[in-house]
Structure 1
């Protein structure tokens, strides 16, 4: 079916984890849309991420830049190599923290929840500061550490000392021993650089919903370890608040403070870092609002559409940024929201990849093909409805899509 040149489709999905990355998903959606709207349609592909896995690749694709690599240390102090990004003008650096302190990098050995730290992430940041960047975008999902950002700051020259003036052990185990923070050797550009931290959760720093209790078990922490880590983070918050004349309650309870083992804590307190939902950071960096303002149809998606999708994830960002009159269609591996909920939340429709009974292995193997077909099905319905509206002169307010 042919299309007028004015038809604009924006394909802006997250990755379908374990099967198709965001760029592949966007390409599949674009192919499905093009099969319906024709070669004259304008299709804008914007692979997105929520601040976790895939964020670096999404931004590099937009920048049309290749990833750079740097020798670092992983979460348990072993030599490793991490990727990072640098804008064409050299002013903005992009770090995906899991490249250095992620769980996959230490999956070959027993997890060390009390020892793991964020030093390697700080090593990337130090390199970017040495290069003279003005802004660092830091996406922190998927970490193996719970150290409140002390390892990160140590890599920038900060020293965390006990009551005797000796350095405390790395990782979460030493947090409760911190009596003084020495900033004399802190990198001179650390406090003048703009720090933007993307978080993908809203958890506070401590307590039942805090970093240690909620995320500690997946990093190998047992009940005793969790108690040590939770108490250590609370102690570090008090030390930082006293040092900076800050509000300890704000440090403890700020939404997202518990992300990545409390990594934002020391950066917010000492460097003036600003946290925001990861989907917002990536959307702003990729100029998604402008693209959506031009769209006649918006296609987005992720592996599973559920209520969590509407709490700061990619689908949430897309639905909030898209104009109210523009159809927003979600394609997902699994759809747990019914049509009433979708419409109440500003989504026109949601399509599952499964055509019928299928195993996870089947869906994973055929994900790109299934995404393309689902996009074609959605676009065919929208095109049919639009043709009906044009034929019978119905108003936009009566548009069922």
Structure 2
């Protein structure tokens, strides 16, 4: 069995459901220490939701060195009903050329592949011209308050420069290397309460129905073209996720209606612009309302440059695939890292089974992932050496 597969199985065996790390970081630190990495814990959060964070860095002696970071998370989502799994979710199991277990795809295989790639790279290049670091957390699948966000804040406080970052999220579709994410849309949520006057449904003149009042505004909001996107992002979208009103009785006009909605927005719009436009619509319709906003993450974009070219080149050399750049999907910890790092991309194995019962990774995808990470290290190091 390959070193990457063995380490992946070690990590899967730890039931590290958010925010619990269950010793995964200790396993990884034990591998990184002998390679010259200084391992620093930055755990954070209250006692009942303590998050484990690791910042591990190997410093180059080169005067021109720049830093490559690999970012990942050891936490996984809950397994769901155990009886629906074909094998126990935290017992690594091989069947028909696949490795089953919670976290196999999201994202313990990526972490193991990068660590093994580092070992192979440093065995051949004892004094590289790049700094190498790992940022690992046990709070990516949860609130994401005391994980990567905290580490980024501390790195910013001490002015630690980061040049490139690879987030090991499972981005591929059919085969490892067919897609990388060079950005993500922002996410902005709103919780809207429109107030009316409760009353008997037979006497509407004595009440004010907030549902009737808000419907024209909602129709207008659904029809707005917020922006047209750009070469890397689809147009910004506005979607309602929940509407609730009424007491449960069929003869009562409700006194309020509550609506949850969300923007997934491109770099063509800002959160403040979107808020302003929503308020303008609601005000124009004369609604009596409260609206609270939650900014889940700003959009980020890494245009093709050194990092994108290195990863694309490594994928092509290892697999022969011309990879696709994409900004689709949900958010990731890249939204935090991009605040202090110039170039951030996400790349990992296929994501078809993430968060599902019987999550797995195809064994044939594991070694190419390791080889791509190692080749990326080599290409970036060579580029710095030439400069």
- Give the structure-2-normalised TM-score: 0.30
Task: Name the structure, 1 or 2, with higher relative contact order (CA <8 Å, separation 6+).
Answer: 2
Larger Rg, first or second structure (1 or 2):
2
More helix by share: 1
**Which is richer in strand?**
2
TM-score by length of 1: 0.29
